[in-house]
Each structure stands twice: as C-alpha cells, then as structure tokens.
Structure 1
C-alpha cells in the first residue's frame, strides 16, 4: 500500500511539474502554484526525487522564493485569481445544479479572501535593479 501511495504522489508531482512548466511559458496559466504542488508530491514520493527537484532552478525561483518570503507579487496574485475566476464562472454557467453553483461561488469568495488577507503581497522584483 505504501508503494502505491509513493507512485501516486510521484505521478501527481510529474503532472503538476508539467503544468508548472506550461505555466512558465504560457501567460494564462500560473506556474508557481503547480510547482508548490509538485514539491509537496515529490517530498511524499521519494527522497531522491525530492532532492533533485530542490536543486532545480525552478524550485529555487518559484517554491523557495515563495516559502522564504511567505508571499506573492500583486501581479501574480491578480493573474492567478483572474484565471481561476474564469474557470469558476464557466463552471457556474454550465452546471445546472444549484448546490454546486453555491459551493463554487463560496469557493471563489473564499479564494479572494485568502489571496487578499492571508497571502502577503511582496514587492515585484525590478529587473533593472538586479543588473546594477
């Protein structure tokens, strides 16, 4: 049973990593949250894979930065919320079950509360100051 759990976490980690990579390239998909999920899954699946992922530049740029600063830039918070809102709104429109619509709306409202009040907004890094 333990081996199956590790394999499932590994597969989920690989899928999350793939979505994170896509999010790094595509402007409509946030990569950071998927890297966080991948880091969690890899830590649960294998020490070797967890160590590998923690040594990648993706981990250092997205996961470690988030964990150390305990926050996100305002631009990233807005982008994540807008994308999530689009999918939640589409789901609310296409689902005809009232309770599901209420749950989706409640999740959307909680998501906004969480992003505004629980995730600290950190200043956006300015590439010009890095070069100096």
Structure 2
C-alpha cells in the first residue's frame, strides 16, 4: 500500500510539474490554453503535496492568471478572450475529428456554449492592470 501511495503521489507531482510549462507556452501560442493548465497545476500539487500547492499559489503565474478567477471570478478581457479562443480552437479540432459522431458533436457543442456562457456571463471583467477587488 505504501509503495502505491508513493507512486500515486509521484504521478501527481510529475503532472503538476508538466502543467505550468504547458501553460506558460500557452501564453505565447494561442493553441494551448493557459488557464486550464495552471488550474491543473494547482489541483495536481494539492493532491500530491501541501508544500508544492502553497508554493504554486504564491507564484506570480498563479497571481497574474488565476487568482482573480479562482477567488472572485474576475479576469481581464485579454485573458478572457485568450482563454475562450484557446477553448474554441481545441474544441474546433475535436469537432472536426468527430464529424461522423453526431452524439460527440452535440456534446462538444453544448460544452462549448457552456464555456462561452460562463466566461461571458459569470466572470466579471476588470480593466487591464487593475488588481481584483479585495487586494
């Protein structure tokens, strides 16, 4: 049992270390979604180690890209559009690959619309460079 726990913890740490790299690449390449990778990092580190989780939450990457979204559901319009563009591109690829699977197309379309509704109706826009409320 102990060996299995170490292996599981090691896998969470490995995933947690890979995700910020992919998210950082996503800052430059719009095909990779930045925010989901950073959110995955927080999740993986939380599953593996409280110390790693606390470290990542204290980084400027987290503070700049995720803190407002996680704590107060706020984003700048640039971050919101970048995120929605990334999600749309990735889902568009999935849509093209599922052209012969009507159920898959319907599910992807519903998920995509839900993403749009959430990010444009539930996430508040803050001006570029402004700190979210409460800071």
TM-score by length of 2: 0.77
Equivalent in the alignment of 1:89 = 92
Structure 1 residue 125 and structure 2 residue 129: aligned? yes
Q: SS of the residue aligned with 1:121? A: strand
Structure 1 unaligned residues grouped into runs of 5+: 127-132
Shift of 1:27: 4.9
CA distance in 2, matches of 1:90, 1:112: 17
Q: SS of the residue aligned with 2:66? A: helix
Q: Give runs of aligned pairs for residues 35-114 of structure 1, distance below 5 A.
A: 35-95=38-98, 96-114=100-118
Mean Cα deviation higher: 82-91 or 59-68: 59-68
CA RMSD of aligned residues (A): 2.2
Residues 27, 51 of structure 1: alpha-carbon distance in 2 compared, 3 angstrom cutoff? same
TM-score by length of 1: 0.78
CA distance in 2, matches of 1:89, 1:67: 26
Shift of 1:55: 3.6
Mean Cα deviation higher: 46-55 or 34-43: 46-55
Q: How many residues align?
A: 126
Q: SS of the residue aligned with 1:60? A: helix
CA distance in 2, matches of 1:61, 1:71: 11
